[in-house]
Amino acid sequence: MKFKGIPASPGTAIGRAYLMSEESYCAIKRNIAENRVKKEISRFKKAIVSTEKDFKNARNKAVEDMGKKYASLFDAYMLILKDPLLYKDTIGIITEEKVNAGYALQSVVDHITKTFSMLDDEYMRDRVRDIQDVGNRVMRHLLGTGRVNLKEIQTRVVLVAHALHPSDAVEIKKENIVGFATDVGGRTSHIVIMAESLQIPAVVGLKRISREVSPGDLLIIDGTEGVVYINPEPEVVREYREKKRIEEKTKKKLIKLKDRPSVTLCGEKIEVEANIESAVEASTALEYGAEGIGLFRTEYIYLNRSELPSEEEMYERIKKVAVTLKPKPVIVRTVDLGADKLSDQLGIKVEKNTFMGLRGIRICLAYPSLFKIQLRAILRASAEGNIMLMYPMITGVKEVNSANHILEEVKEDLRNGGIEFDENVKVGCMVETPAAVMDITHIAQMSDFLSIGTNDLIQYTFAVDRVLESVSYLYNPADISIIKMIKQIDEAAYAAGIWAGVCGEMASDTLYTELLIGLGIRKLSMTASAIPKVKQIIINTTVQKCRDLAQRVLSLYQPQEIVDQLKESRDLIFSDTDN
Ligand code: PEP
Ligand code: MG
């Protein structure tokens, strides 16, 4: 069977399926260590208490809305919750078999279902349905607190899930997860960005893949074309094995460009830098020839933990990157929590539709103490390397002013404490909202540099959630509105005597390299693995050719015509240099 989705992270992966469908996360059997048994039992007990609370609330509402007699239904459910058959037996299985609570509970419910269904008694069969319902409700609470930890996957698998979140990505070990496929997700959702940086081939937006795949199925992930095969014919497997071999050969060839200066045929320097999410990626970035870190996404330090990271921990992580890259620059973005990178342990109220809510600089300004800790850590690290600081999600000068005001307070504190930092640390703004573009002249005057976050800029310009597959057809960097915005930003930067770079995914895609150069951009920050290919374009083009291309594109307005122009120019370079 062949399924078409959205190509997310390029490359081929072949392997057996590991299914993480929403319903089955919990019920997958996982052996736990002796010292985890107590914790697992307490997780189960907590889920029972939460379910009981739900039933009590539902009972009260039912009595209020419909009268007292409806309370008995929930009383019966609450009795089942505490029935030894369910409660004690589940704890018994966790203790004796040393397995996760979800699996133990599912085993108990399955056993009860099997036993009671054999009885020729209508009443008893109804009770079985009640038990299943109660079991599912407890399971939902277990799900919230006990999603399969991807770190625990021990064999090399292709991960299939309804959805994956940035907090899952933090747990992914590249050695064990060779590829992934999800029902939902858009091209620039953060999980996809992370897959690309880990070089894990991925296809998203497959709609029903998690329901079509069974654990252990043989899967092929074609992350370049956005295709997934379930149990393909042997000749398809052979074809993809060959494709994979060629991919690896090309990769080796491209990586040889690592030390080649990133300069056009006419001698213009185009800076190629890497986007990283964690300190460990800094050395990988150098291996791919990164000339700096154009975007260090610091929010991953905050995910999957029960308390806020300390200033010291943050300082150590940022310092590590600064020292690894020294004297090359590292742009540290202040935390961009919110949206799909929410950390529910931080006590920050979770809102609906958080892409439009409290995220990025808004969270920092709303929680100045959180912001100050981070600024102290970044500033301290600036004494150890070439660090610049960048604010995400700026919508206007007021936010820049407020953020700068807090920054000055932190600097003053450090001075008073005799703590070293770079007094001339450069401070830039991300341009990723249409509001910022409309007032870019003033924002540029207040900044040392600008960095265009096309992922969000496209999302907010077209009002399309970047995570949603249903509207992904509207998500198009090759739209004239985006191209004009980039031109406008670059012109404002030039007028203010500063530089503007691009750090959104558009910079990783060779389709746009010549266009961006033609629009005036001289600094591109991307997924590290994309650097060699982008460099291949840079060293085989001229600024004049890029300007001509940009000029032609600016006179077009049909997205397909724009893509065709860009493709023609790019493919010519690849066909000339690949032979
Ligand atoms: C962007 O929006 O383009 C960007 C680089 O930031 P992020 O993807 O982390 O939101
Ligand atoms: Mg962004």
Question: How remote is the CA of residue 433 from the centroid of ligand 1, in Å?
Answer: 11
Half-sphere exposure of 42 (CA within 13 A, CB side): 5
Token pair recorded at residue 356: 């439009």
Q: Is the CB of 453 under 6 A from ligand 1?
A: yes
- Is the CB of 393 inside a 6 Å radius of any atom of ligand 1? no
In this structure, the residue with its CA closest to atom 1 of ligand 1 is 453
- Best CA proximity match to 78, nearest among 102, 57, 108: 57
Cα angle 384, 337, 489; round to 5: 75
- DSSP codes joined into one string, 299-367: GGGTSS-SSPPPHHHHHHHHHHHHHHHTTSEEEEEPP--BTTB--GGGTPPP-SSGGGSS-THHHHHHS
The pick from 503, 512, 521, 527 for probing ligand 1's pocket by mutation, whose C-beta has the most ligand atoms within 8 angstroms, reads 503
Which amino acid, one-letter code, is at 193? Answer: I
User: If DSSP states are collapsed to H, E and C, what string results for 367-405?
Assistant: CHHHHHHHHHHHHHHCCCCEEEEEECCCCCHHHHHHHHH
Among this protein's residues, is 26 annotated catalytic? no
Q: Which ligand places an atom closest to the C-alpha of 186?
A: 1
Task: Give me ligand 1 centre to Cα 263, in Å.
Answer: 26
Our answer on whether the CB atom of 334 is closer than 6 Å to any ligand 1 atom is no
User: Is residue 297 lining ligand 1, measured as CB closer than 6 Å?
Assistant: yes
Ligand 1 proximity of 360 Cβ (cutoff 6 Å): no
Q: Whose CA is nearest to atom 8 of ligand 1?
A: 455
Ligand nearest to the CA of 333: 1
How far, in Å, from the CA of 341 to the mean position of ligand 2? 11
Catalytic residue among 26, 190, 364, 429: 190
Cα 196 to middle of ligand 1, angstroms: 14
Residue 369, burial from CB neighbour count under 10 angstroms (0-12, 13-18, 19+):
exposed
Ligand 1 center to 412 CA (angstroms)? 30
Of 26, 364, 429, 503, which is the active-site residue? 503
Is the CB of 456 within 6 Å of ligand 1? Answer: yes
By C-alpha distance, which of 189, 262, 179 is closest to 222?
Answer: 179
This prediction's pTM: 0.73
For ligand 1, say whether the CB of 432 is within 6 Å of any of its atoms: yes
Q: Which helix (H) or strand (E) holds 72?
A: helix 71-82
- Does ligand 1 come within 6 angstroms of the Cβ of 461? no
Question: Is 503 annotated as catalytic?
Answer: yes
- Is 454 near ligand 1, meaning CB less than 6 Å away? yes
Tens digit of each residue's pLDDT (9 = 90 or more) over 71-125: 777 788 888 888 888 899 999 999 999 988 988 998 898 888 888 777 777 677 6
Q: Which ligand is nearest to the CA of 524?
A: 1
The pLDDT of residue 26 is 58
* Nearest CA owner, ligand 1 atom 4: 453
Angle between helices 368-381 and 397-416 (to 10 degrees): 60
pLDDT of residue 20: 76
Sign, Cα dihedral of 513, 518, 523, 525? negative
pLDDT value at residue 404: 98
CA of 377 to the centre of ligand 1 (A): 22
- The list of the chain residues with pLDDT below 70 reads 21-28, 65-66, 69-70, 122, 125-126, 143-152, 166-171, 304-306, 339-353, 578-579
Tell me, what's the pLDDT at 146?
45
Distance CA 443, CA 264 (A): 30
Q: Which ligand is nearest to the CA of 458?
A: 1
Which residue from 336, 362, 467, 526 has its CB within 8 A of the most atoms of ligand 1, so it is best to mutate?
A: 336
Ligand 2 midpoint to CA 335 (Å): 11
